[in-house]
Structure 1
Amino acid sequence: MTNVIAFVIIGLVAGVLSGLFGIGGGIVIIPALMYFAGFTQLKAQGTSLAIMLPPVGILAFLEYYKKGNVNIAAGIAICIAMLIGAKFGAQMANAIPISIVKKGFAIFTILVGIKMFFGK
């Protein structure tokens, strides 16, 4: 039961961050769409999410699954929670001023970079 609660929390946090910042390949895709294609922050985030879902997720999952590297129960629990979290994150992103969304995305990206740079 403890694992299920952890999976749900992970899914909710990942969903909120995904919906709020369009994370994933978004660390590259979102700025590229904004600065090279003239997209707004929110249009870039929505497009990033649309780009990554079908082709990357399905094909990558199948490769990991074939090698026995997928925990189906964890995946289902996180997926359900992430659906809920992503909805709330997207609602938040569309309700708060765009300047706050941009600053939040920038801070999140910097923190991830610092952790990766100084982490093990």
Structure 2
Amino acid sequence: MSIQIILSLVLIGILAGILSGLVGVGGGVIMVPLLVLLLGFSQHQAQGTSLAVLVVPVTAVAVYSYYKEGYIDWRYAAIIAVFFVIGGYFGSKIAIGLDQRMLKKIFGVILLLIAGKMLLEK
């Protein structure tokens, strides 16, 4: 592994970590595009790698900071987590069957829709 690749991976990790703690995004919104743009990953590789990073409790320290301030509703988090696992399973099965170009388009449209909603809401 070259030093350029290692530095790119460090940059992706730092940016994803900072933005995850700051605004709750990191995996899909930061890691996936940067893995594609900086390292030439396919959309499938980027999404799979992003999900693999999240298998370990990478957000535990950030969660603890929010918990200390009283900003976590554990009941809601538990319900979302259970169904996130189920949704993640089915979503991955669908994504694997899609062409990379279509997957990139779906990913981009979802980001645009979310960004537009957040930018235009009062």
After TM superposition, the score normalised by the length of structure 1 is 0.70
Matched letter for residue 70 of structure 1? I
Q: CA shift at 1:101, angstroms?
A: 1.0
Amino acid at match of 1:38: G
The alpha-carbon deviation at position 91 of structure 1 amounts to: 0.7
Who is 1:108 aligned against? 110
Match of 1:92 in 2: 94
Instruction: After TM superposition, give the deviation of residue 82 of structure 1 in Å.
Output: 0.7
Partner of 1:63: 65
> Displacement, 1:49?
2.1
User: Residue 70 of structure 2 aligns to a residue in which SS?
Assistant: coil
Name the % identity. 36
Distance (whole Å) between structure 2 residues aligned to residue 55 and residue 79 of structure 1: 13
Q: Give distance in 2, aligned partners of 1:95 and 1:78.
A: 25
Contact 2:27 2:54 in 1 (8 A): yes
Bigger helix share: 1
Partners of 1:117 and 1:77 in 2: CA distance: 28
What's the counterpart of residue 10 of structure 1? none
**What RMSD in Å do the two structures reach over aligned CA positions?**
1.9
Q: How many residues align?
A: 98
AA at the equivalent of 1:73: R
Deviation at 1:63, TM superposition (A): 1.3
TM-score, normalization by structure 2: 0.69
Give the match for residue 32 of structure 2.
Answer: 30
Which amino acid in structure 2 is aligned with residue 72 of structure 1?
W
Structure 2: how far apart are the matches of 1:104 and 1:70?
30
Larger relative contact order (Cα-Cα within 8 Å, sequence gap ≥ 6): 1
Instruction: State the distance in 2 between where 1:34 and 1:45 align.
Output: 9
